[in-house]
Amino acid sequence: MRCTGLLLFPLLISHAVKALDNGLALTPIMGWLHWARFMCNVDCVADPDNCISERLFMQMADVMVKEGWRDAGYEYVCLDDCWPSRRRDASGGLQADPARFPGGIKRLADYVHSKGLKLGIYSDVGAETCAGYPGSLDHYEKDAQTFADWGVDLLKFDGCNMKWTRLAEGYRNMSRALNATGSRMVYSCEWPLYEWDFHKPNYTAVRETCNQWRNYADVYDSWSSVKSIAEWTALHQDAVAPWAGPGGWNDPDMLVIGNYGLSHDQQESQMALWALMAAPLLMSNDLRSLCPRAKALLQNRRVIAINQDPLGRQGYRTATLGSFEVWERPLSNRVLAVAVRNKQEIGGPQKLPIVKVPGWRTCGSLCNVTQILPQYKELGVQRQRTDLAVAVNPSGVVLLTFHPILD
């Protein structure tokens, strides 16, 4: 058994106080981002329904309102790479590809705002984006003002095509440029991701500069990818988790729920782990054709409430017990969220007594136990020596909350 005691939480979080001072992302942001599902599909002749175009983003905005996503908390509609023209305009400004975005980004932003949603956009700290489109190097102030003039609400700022020793300077310069516009834009950074290969990033500086930041590799539509992100986060949790809190969050990348690569149990595992990691919930899927089970999972108000808990502490992997691993996150009102994940990928459900969860001892003599996933169940008031056990499917998860009952 490998444990990290819950008493570490307040000690580790105590120095993660100063955040980017823009008043945004006080809880992890929620929304939709195109990359993992639609990638850099720019062929609107052969594939008009799925290419990166204003039509795609307007349709997603329509669906987000019509099918309850906005009401569930998903408010950002975000462009990733491949939206711009290959060349800047005559004044040196970024411009959208005129064939795919004939109305320009300003019109798209106005449309998204008319739906009660917010628009996110993408650029890069280097001279080119990862896909070879114009980056922002030597244009930070101009690009920041362009985004502000268009009414953009979020900037995802990638780290391709930049010497790693210049990343800190570039990310700080763009942060200052965004704030200087007077517009309120969430600043999503990839700074640590590109530094970890060389040294441990300066998370004090990262948190003072960014509202959220990527640490590890891109998510793919596969269970091995989701597992690798969770494992990296657990192995580095003492280095990264303390820095999460209102105004700044670790970003393990997009939710790929509703695509092709995960079973339903694995989709529940990603949703539960992202909730306990206090991660931004940025879906990358096709909301126009999402299956009902994936939609219900992504809109599960109890899971979202854990993710959005105002205490703002990131959870930790606190134990590995045979084929199980346990993740725990302290919530408001002394509630503890617990994810029990079955790492085994063969056979049937396995049972774990809840008394083996490290945080169970914080319950005292009595604790109310609620199961959130895979189905909502009130498991009742349990005594300290309860024999209650949870059955977890292979590669699946059981998500619980423990609420101590005070005498």
Strands, sheet with 316-321, edge to edge from the N-terminal-most edge strand: 2-3, 316-321, 324-330, 336-342, 397-404, 366-373, 377-383
Cα–Cα distance for residue pair 79/98, rounded to 1 Å: 15
3-state secondary structure of 206: helix
For residue 374, whether the previous peptide bond is cis, meaning omega lies within 30 degrees of 0, is: yes
* Token couple for 384: 């300290």
* Token couple for 260: 């092709």
Cα–Cα distance for residue pair 393/327, rounded to 1 Å: 16
- Which H helix or E strand runs over 321? strand 316-321
3-state secondary structure of 243: helix
What count of Cα atoms within 13 Å lies in the side-chain half-sphere of residue 284?
Answer: 20
- Which H helix or E strand runs over 327? strand 324-330
CA 147 from chain centre, in angstroms, equals 22
What are the phi and psi torsion angles at 281 (to 5°)? -105, 85
* Token couple for 209: 């500069």
CA 404 from chain centre, in angstroms, equals 29
Q: Is 282 left (phi over 0), alpha (psi -120 to 50) or beta?
A: beta
Angle subtended at Cα 286 by Cα 280 and Cα 291, rounded to the nearest 5 degrees? 100
Cα–Cα distance for residue pair 315/324, rounded to 1 Å: 17
Catalytic residue among 97, 124, 158, 309: 158
Q: Are 43 and 100 in contact (CB under 8 A)?
A: no
The yes-or-no answer on residue 218 being catalytic is: yes
* Residue length of the chain: 407
The yes-or-no answer on residue 158 being catalytic is: yes
* Token couple for 64: 């987000």
3-state secondary structure of 269: helix
* Token couple for 95: 């411009």
CA 139 from chain centre, in angstroms, equals 28
Cα–Cα distance for residue pair 28/42, rounded to 1 Å: 30
Active site positions, annotated: 158, 218
